[in-house]
Amino acid sequence: MSDALRERVTAELAQYHEPYLDTDLVSARAVRSLEIDGHRVTLELDLGFPCGRYGQELAEQVRAKLEALDEVEQADVTVGFSISPKAVQSQLKRIDGVANIIAVASAKGGVGKSTVAANFALALAADGANVGLLDADIYGPSQPRLMGIETKAKAAGENVIAPVEAHGLKTMSIGYLIDKESPAILRGPMVTSALQQMLFQSAWGDLDYLIIDLPPGTGDIQLTLAQKIPVSGAVVVTTPQDLSLIDARKGVEMFKKVSVPVLGIVENMSTHICSKCGHEEHIFGEHGGQRLADEYDVDLLGELPLDISIREYADSGKPTVVSAPDSQIAAAYFDIARNATARLSRQKKDYASKFPNIKVESN
């Protein structure tokens, strides 16, 4: 009976399509344990990406599906997640304690990349992950304003900086280190050096994800940063219009050049929602993000509207995911975060840290 029921349950799980992993639960290797005791089934699933409230919803859906089987009287289903480090560019040093770095890039200014990066990081944290956020824009740091932080970073030891806590995130920005009104007058090599100091000399602790808000553009600075930061995956932000897509293509090509997998495309400002009447209009064109995703055979992670509330919450220092976590716009940010990290979870693991250090000594 138990073997037959196990096969029946496994067959049902193999037919359940999980939308974020975009495959069934068996093919995704999401089944951590399956126990059969008479007519009672105890199932534990591990999605491999932060799932938060969605994990509870999935557990309920799978439970109902299993209890619909004639042979099952009771099904106990729990859904959790575990984060494993994924491979980065060869020859680059990983940051101790940081499992995965995800770069958020736009290749063009003015497309809302920093706001997307902030809400992306906040959604991951709300779903249960330990998350850091690094503002890599030395010339125009945005994250201090987005996070509502006006304090300065403090030392955590010799040559070590303590990240600033904000909304459950560990954050770091050049804006925490210089006066707000002072311009950062630095040339390319100094910019790279400043970023590496914030990246490698910050006391991040144990993080599942470190989200890096890259500066716009694809010039020497951006390319150098992409070559020196141990990145597991990248997210490219664009708007639907052709001018933005031209630069977004350059961003995708840049990551291909440095062997960083592009997890997908985020289309920001997909539609405009009138604050007076609620009318929705594609003022920047339609389906540009999807065309770009299809062109490079990557995923469209999500679409976000041009909505006044996003700007208002960002300016207040409490982005949408914090200010309106149950709103439709926040749901879009959660979908983007889950889609991206689900794609990342299916990439190759980093086994470099598992290899022993071999020393050859002469007698």
Instruction: Sketch the domain layout of the chain as residue ranges.
Output: 2-80, 98-345
The pTM for the full model equals 0.90
Known binding residue 111? Answer is yes
Domain boundaries 98-345, corresponding CATH code: 3.40.50.300
pLDDT of residue 355: 45
Partners of 77 in beta bridges: 43
Q: What is the DSSP letter of 269?
A: S
Q: What is the 3-state secondary structure (H, E, C) of 209-266?
A: EEEEECCCCCCHHHHHHHHHCCCCEEEEEECCCHHHHHHHHHHHHHHHHCCCCEEEEE
Q: Residue 244 has which token pair? A: 């933005």
Known binding residue 256? Answer is no
Place of tokens 């469209």: 300
Vertex 312: Cα angle to 309 and 317 (nearest 5)? 125
CATH topology classification for 2-80: GMP Synthetase; Chain A, domain 3 (3.30.300)
Task: Give all strands (DSSP E) within 127-206, no chain letters.
Answer: 131-135, 154-157, 160-162, 164-166, 169-173
Q: Residue 202 has which token pair? A: 């910050």
Known binding residue 107? Answer is yes
Vertex 166: Cα angle to 124 and 170 (nearest 5)? 65
Known binding residue 337? Answer is no
Known binding residue 110? Answer is yes
Contact 304, 266 (CB under 8 A): yes
Mean pLDDT by 10 residues, the chain (363 residues): 86 96 95 94 96 96 94 94 91 90 86 94 97 89 91 84 95 83 57 82 95 83 79 93 85 89 93 75 75 92 92 95 96 98 89 48 42
Q: Does the fold of domain 98-345 match that of domain 2-80?
A: no
Known binding residue 109? Answer is yes
pLDDT of residue 326: 96
Known binding residue 113? Answer is yes
pLDDT of residue 81: 96
Known binding residue 170? Answer is no
